[in-house]
Amino acid sequence: MADILRLRRGAGGFVARLAVLLLLSLALSVRPVLAQEMLRDAETEALLHDAAAPLMTAAGLRPGNVQIVLLQDRTINAFVAGGQIVYIQSGLIEAANNVNEVQGVIAHELGHVTGGHVIRMAEGAKAATGIMILSLLLGAAAMAAGSGEAGAGIMAAGQQAAMGKFLAFTRVQENSADQAGASFLIKAGITGKGIISFFQTLQNQEYRYAIPQKDSYGQTHPLTSERIAALEHVLKNAPSWNNPVDPKLEERFQLVKAKLSGYVNDPQATFYKFPESNKSLPARYARAYAWHKKAYPDKADAEVEELIKARPDYPYFYELKGQILLESGKPLDALDSLRTAVRLAPDQPLIASLFGHALIESGKEGSMEEAKKVLRSAVARDNDNPFAWYQLGIVYDHEGDNARASLATAERYNLEGNAQLAMISAEQAMRGISMGTPDWIRAQDIAMVSRTEVEKDRKKR
């Protein structure tokens, strides 16, 4: 459900309209597979989970079963695409003024999840396609009878009716998700001010880009003004309307927002937005990333040292310090900082995998054995991390355990979507691991799934 993007009517032939209709019906399942880079960051993932957990519970979902995935995309958008996964694009985090606005967006997306809207999208597409096919048949019949203009008119009317029906269907879903999201906010005791202010931000952008505001016909979503009015009616009368936002959660959000800005933006843009005269923690955080990107490790480290001095209990500052040292060719120096980060955040496998990488690169005596323990623990908690599997494969290869090195490599390629190499590596692992053991069974599973994908690709060619 592309919550910010709208489809507006425009000129175009029948083929274009049919293509749009088909694309709309498929967009939800295709979008995550497109070239949108997933951003994995322990601090950001922890923040989004903590901000969304009460909403997930209010929606009747188990927080442990719902994923919130951050994508590197400057568009202000969020969507769902099947299952219990909410995708948030980095542009939305940058555009949001506070954590409550993000909570409002997540609440809306959870409305799509609980409403089963991705699955039901096929219903809307089927009804619209039926109208279009019928108009084609009637138009063709009219043309065959010698009434060319009448036939063309029937086809054009059918196209418009089909598109109108499909778009009306999506608008109903968006309204439903808005109302469900509002109910989740209220039930969770979270103020709805954020979703209202976020929609007002979107409305200002629509005015700026001269997006038509007269009616919602021809659009996938209701008018933003309509959505604001409908939500205000519900949220302003709720007992949670004046509830304060958790200040610690808001502080974490501002740090994550600044960090993301420093990571995705050009360093000069970061320095302009966060000049050195700004001594706040978010500003230092953003500049630390910017200096690191410009390959000024000393300046980056100086900013991090000030961050650690201000918040010696915050694990992610130590993580950044270790990352800067590691990526500056000083893996041995990075160990203390990363070890501290792991101690302060023992439940963060992404930090553990970075620590494991530093141990491998350090060359320190006994570091490979420690890296093995750290990385095995990391993939046990988060087996969707190809980088951790790659590092674990290096450890196994160093030990001469070629079979498990191949299994780790198979896991990595399986996550990266390289079915051919995943299949080859899994088959190599099976030849060196005792049949029937958990590792052998896992290698067999990867080999079977990958072989199916390889065969599908061959048939397509």
Give the model confidence (pLDDT) of 359-408 as tens digits. 999 998 999 999 999 999 999 999 999 999 999 999 999 999 999 999 99
β-bridge pairing 67-72 and 85-89: parallel
The side-by-side arrangement of strands in the sheet containing 78-80 is 37-39, 67-72, 85-89, 78-80
Looking at per-residue confidence, does 83 or 283 come out higher? 283
Residue-wise pLDDT for 41-71, tens only, equals 999 999 999 999 999 999 999 999 999 999 9
Question: Phi and psi at residue 407, in whole multiples of 5°?
Answer: -65, -45
Residue written as token pair 């209220």: 186
pLDDT score of 419: 94
Closest CA to 93 of 219, 236, 201, 182: 201
pLDDT score of 20: 45
pLDDT score of 141: 54
Over pLDDT 90: what percentage of the chain?
A: 64
Residues 6+ apart with CB under 8 A from 18: 132, 159
pLDDT score of 5: 39
- pLDDT higher than threshold 80 for residue 165: no
Closest CA to 26 of 57, 50, 2, 52: 2
- pLDDT higher than threshold 90 for residue 199: no
Domains and CATH numbers, the chain: 14-235 (3.30.2010.10), 267-460 (1.25.40.10)
pLDDT score of 100: 97
Averaged pLDDT for residues 121-144: 50
Residue-wise pLDDT for 307-351, tens only, equals 999 999 999 999 999 999 999 999 999 999 999 999 999 999 999
pLDDT score of 205: 72
Local confidence band at 143 (pLDDT 50, 70, 90 cut-offs): low
Closest CA to 361 of 334, 382, 338, 385: 334
Residues 6+ apart with CB under 8 A from 371: 356, 357, 359, 360, 391, 395
Sequence length of the chain is 461
Averaged pLDDT for residues 134-154: 53
Q: Is 377 in contact with 352 (CB distance < 8 Å)?
A: yes
Question: Phi and psi at residue 87, in whole multiples of 5°?
Answer: -100, 130
Joined tokens for residue 259: 């960090």
Joined tokens for residue 277: 């005269």
